[in-house]
Amino acid sequence: MDFRLYLLLLVLPLSLLAGCTSVLKDPRMLIVSDARALQPMEGFVPLPHESRVFHEPGAEAYARRVASLLDKSIKRVEAAHNLPFAEPVRIFICGTEACFKRYVLTPKLSAAVIPDNRLILSPNLNERESWRLEPLMLHELSHLHLGQRVGHYHSNIPVWFHEGWASLTADGGGAEFATDEQAFEAAQNGKQIDLGKRDIPGMRHKAASFDLNIHVFYRQAMLLVKALKQQDAERFRRLTLALQNNQDFEIAFWDIYGAGPQTILADALNPESADNKAAAPAQ
């Protein structure tokens, strides 16, 4: 049996059973399947003369910093994704921790895209992590861009690719608390992302799935996506366009590369591989 047909027969029942990932629906409508997608964004006011930026009262100076970076950041993300944003960009800026925690349930984050594709920034990025504002904006705008086309953090695409692509788009933003060397060392010690594991609704393979800390997971993910792009930029472009057209990750990958990611990326986390020796150090 043709392998692509086999994958389709495997994937389709899972999609239909999941309901919220049915191929018969517009994926951008799926973002309301999470109850938080119905939560109104209350207490934010628009920044004068910048309709894309909303802020908690008292955080106008922070909002102006964000606005000054927005046009450049949007252009960078659109260039990395080979497509424009499908919908207008909107960013919500919290000036207090209470505001951020009201909308972002995951602890220890400084920025997030939550269900219904809403990008929220915490006060950290205007205070102790001020230096991270631009790279984290790029990282989250990458998530937002993809979410506008396929739905919020769609399980069709593995977490490692979601995070790796966003970190690569941001030149390491989101993966800056681990080095390439730490990522390689973990892999050499048997702790690395298992590219053979498939994500499905309700079963996402994140850092803990591979016994990795979150920072090394993000760095390994970025190195994997970076390796794909360095090996063949045109194939990588075709893959990203296929995914943004809501094609299944495994089917699109096999169709474009002729093998699975565990084969194509077998040496991506090996520092002695020819590709890694030739690559410039990640910043």
- Given a cut of 50, whether residue 3 has pLDDT beyond it is no
The pLDDT, as a whole number, for residue 32 is 35
In the numeric block, the tokens 């499905």 are attached to: 200
pLDDT tens sequence across 65-111: 999 999 999 999 999 999 999 999 999 999 999 999 999 988 899 99
| Beta bridge partners of residue 91, listed in sequence order | 53, 119
- Given a cut of 70, whether residue 139 has pLDDT beyond it is yes
The pLDDT, as a whole number, for residue 256 is 98
Show the domains of the chain with their CATH numbers.
Answer: 41-153 (3.30.2010.30), 154-273 (no CATH)
- Given a cut of 50, whether residue 266 has pLDDT beyond it is yes
**SS3 (DSSP) at 121:** strand
In eight-state DSSP terms, residue 200 is B
User: Burial, 57: exposed, middle or buried (Cβ in 10 Å; 0-12, 13-18, 19+)?
Assistant: exposed
The pLDDT, as a whole number, for residue 25 is 34
pLDDT tens sequence across 156-174: 899 999 999 999 999 999 9
pLDDT, greater one: 25 or 148: 148
Q: How confident is the model at residue 275 (pLDDT cuts 50, 70, 90)?
A: low
The pLDDT, as a whole number, for residue 206 is 85
Mind giving me the DSSP string for 97-118?
Answer: HHHHHHH--STT-SEEEETTTE
CA distance 91 to 41: 11
Residue 112 to residues 3, 73, 255, Cα–Cα distance (Å): 37, 16, 32
